[in-house]
Structure 1
């Protein structure tokens, strides 16, 4: 079968013929319906250094946002029917620590001892014709379109988890939420906030077309540049926002979010661009929390799929064939894709 393979750090991936995986005990082989191309993939092959923070040693097949149809069951697996569609929960932890027991493999206590971080993160992922995954990591899609659902595994799960953790700050009337960065995750974050809260959603990005899409989803937009934080505060009557979500994570975006916060608020940095923030008792709004989140739990993903089926989350998907998979990554790097590029290996 063909697959998009990450072979060396600082090297663009290649499409190669590789052996079709065989599901081991407790695993399910999926015929891939869709695999989302994510900026995290670009960081894996383009930004990280061997042995550095976040680096996952190659070679392996990329793709951590995956959906597919059951093709074959491994030893001991029951309760799945060949041909049924599933979404894949990407993180894979040890399976027996406290975090994994509650379905939060992202925070596995034994991650340092694991041979990989997840599907498409050290273990072969779904940028291929077939992928083998633990049966536990499958979330049923029913009759929902699995190709359009593929990005839900990260582009929806990640903002959903961050927003779910911040919901107490958005409960009640007169609340404000801020979304910084309106790429694939940020656009879905606006949809989730509108579905789960009554807050006024303020969204900002450097791209005008991205802000127009956020407006269509119900957000109030603020352009970047000088005075950005003050314009955000003006919308709130000067008080500041109750919850902010930075999906970029560079220094200026983190600082803009921090300057926009109200007292008793929560700022969640989701983007992993390495930005820093200087904290002071005299400038931080009282009891305003700055935190970060990474991906989400498998329970969260079940809830994301429920929202998708209800029409509350509608990912913007651009489909690419296997022959076009590398073009998808090139366009992603060049900033030419809004929404999510999804590789469809078996046709539309």
Structure 2
């Protein structure tokens, strides 16, 4: 099969011929990839930022946002069958450790992460587990929801936490309305009645944010702190959902949050520097968000099937992976970039 493999860090991946994955374990599931999301984390992987964290042996296939159709299953698989459309939870988990027993499988002690520490979905086929596949509603196309497997799941995981803490009449601010943020906005409006203010540097992104449910939008033109203060009578937001995490977003977010507010860190790349006395005196809470659980993904797919969450995508063939990575790196992707293998095109034709 064709697969995009990283042979060396800080070098462009290459489209290679590699063996097809095979069912070996009774719980194995082989998926014909219908769409693979192109994520900024993939750029960080290529740059070598994940080299120590992943411990993966090169070469390997990247791509951790995947959906498609079941191709083959092991003898113990009962939840899906060949031909079923599925989206894949990004982790392959054990189901036996303490975290898994609590339903907190994103912190599984024995997990692997296809696309990060093992072969991923920039390919025609991917090997995963019965514990990782969520059957899609027949109305959903794998390519249309693939990026929800990680970007959408991360957004859902964070927004669901915020929604549980917010009350009607509260105000939340969403920093960033791009590939991750535009999903978070839709999830927020589906889960919470609180007021949502969206901040972004792009007028086009803000126009989209307004279209998909933002109550207020603020252009980050140097006056965003003052504008946010005006909207909240100087008190600040009850929650900050930071989908950027770098380039001044963290500093802005810290100046927009009110006393006893919750700051949800979702995007990454920058640094969070807060004097401990400020944390104590204001009782601000900082909440990290790592992907989401299998159950989070199931719930997100319900919202997708109800058309309450819709991805804005730019589609590329698998052969054009380099262009997709280039466009993402240069800010030329609106929404999420999706790679579609030729095998998927043949499967749907």
**Quick check: TM above 0.5?**
yes
Structure 1 residue 49: deviation in Å?
6.4
Contact in 2 for aligned 1:203/1:221 (Cα 8 Å):
yes
Pairing 1:190–2:191 present: no
Matched, 1:203 2:195: no
**Could you give the per-residue CA deviations for residues 120-164 of structure 1, whole angstroms, max 9, x where no partner exists?**
112111111111111110011021211101111012110110111
Moved more, 138-147 or 222-231: 222-231
Please identify, of 93-102 and 66-75, the stretch whose mean Cα deviation from structure 2 is larger.
93-102
What is the CA–CA distance in structure 2 between the aligned matches of 1:96 and 1:250, rounded to whole Å? 37
Hey, what's the Cα distance between the residues in 1 that align with 2:95 and 2:124? Answer: 27
Q: TM-score, normalised by structure 1?
A: 0.92
Partner of 1:45: 46
The unaligned stretches of length 5 or more in structure 2 are: none
Are the structure 2 counterparts of residues 54 and 72 from structure 1 closer, same or farther at C-alpha, using a change threshold of 3 Å? closer
Does residue 1:230 correspond to 2:231, yes or no? no
- Alpha-carbon distance in 2 for matches of 1:27, 1:342: 25
The alignment status of 1:146 with 2:147, answered yes or no, reads no
Q: How many residues align?
A: 341
1:155-181 Cα deviation digits (max 9, x unpaired): 21101101111223312x211111112
1:280, CA displacement in angstroms? 4.2
Secondary structure, aligned partner of 1:213? helix
TM-score (norm 2): 0.92
Contact map agreement 1:24 1:75 (CA 8 A) in 2: no
Equivalent residue in structure 1 for 2:337, among 329, 335, 341 = 341
Pairwise CA RMSD:
1.9
Q: Which of 303, 308, 320 pairs up with 1:307?
A: 303
**Whole-Å separation in 2 of the counterparts to 1:298 and 1:150:** 15
Q: How does 1:1-348 map to 2 (within 5 A)?
A: 1-25=1-25, 26-48=27-49, 50-51=51-52, 53=53, 56-109=56-109, 117-143=112-138, 144-171=140-167, 173-219=168-214, 220-250=216-246, 252-282=248-278, 286-345=282-341, 346-347=344-345
Alpha carbons of structure 1 residues 29 and 283: separation in structure 2 relative to 1, 3 Å = closer
